[in-house]
Structure 1
Amino acid sequence: MSIDELQEYGLVKMDENEIEGFLSSQKTGVLGLPAEDGPYLLPISYGYNGHDRLYFTYLLGSNSRKGTLSEATDTARFLVYKVDTPYNWQSVLLTGQLSAIPETEWDALDEISHAAWRPAVFESATLSGDVRVYEFQIDEQTGIKHQGLPPSLEPDGM
Structure 2
Amino acid sequence: MRELSADEVTTVLSRNGIGVLALLDGDQPYPLPMSFGYDGDRPLFVMQFGAGPDSRKFDCLEEGAKAGFTVYEETEPGTEWRSVVITGELREIRDEETVDAYTAIAANAEFAPDMAIWGVPLEDTSLTVFELTMNECTGRAFSMTR
Interval of TM-score (by shorter of Structure 1 and Structure 2)? 0.7 to 0.9
- State the 1:100 CA deviation: 1.1
1: CA distance, partners of 2:94 / 2:18: 23
Of residues 94, 104, 110 in structure 2, which corresponds to 1:112? 104
- State the 1:148 CA deviation: 4.9
What are structure 2's unaligned runs of at least 5 residues? none
Instruction: State the percentage of identical aligned residues.
Output: 29
Structure 1 match to 2:70: 79
| TM-score, normalising length: structure 1 | 0.77
Structure 1 match to 2:17: 27
Relative contact order higher in (CA < 8 Å, ≥ 6 apart):
2
Structure 2 match to 1:155: none
Work out whether residues 79 and 91 of structure 1, in 8 Å CA contact, stay in contact via their aligned partners in 2.
yes
Structure 1 match to 2:84: 92
2: CA distance, partners of 1:101 / 1:126: 24
| TM-score, normalising length: structure 2 | 0.83
Q: Who wins on radius of gyration, i.e. which is larger?
A: 1
Work out whether residues 71 and 99 of structure 1, in 8 Å CA contact, stay in contact via their aligned partners in 2.
no
Structure 2 match to 1:63: 54
Superposition map of 1:124-135 within 5 A: 127-128=122-123, 129-135=125-131
1: CA distance, partners of 2:140 / 2:94: 34
Q: Counting helix residues as a fraction of each chain, which structure ranks higher?
A: 1
What are structure 1's unaligned runs of at least 5 residues? 1-10, 152-158
2: CA distance, partners of 1:148 / 1:28: 22
Q: Which moved more, 1:27-36 or 1:122-131?
A: 122-131
- The letter for the 1-side match of 2:48 is T
Work out whether residues 23 and 80 of structure 1, in 8 Å CA contact, stay in contact via their aligned partners in 2.
yes
- Considering only aligned residues, what root-mean-square deviation do their CA atoms show, in Å? 2.3
**CA gap 1:53/1:111 in 2 versus in 1, 3 angstroms:** closer
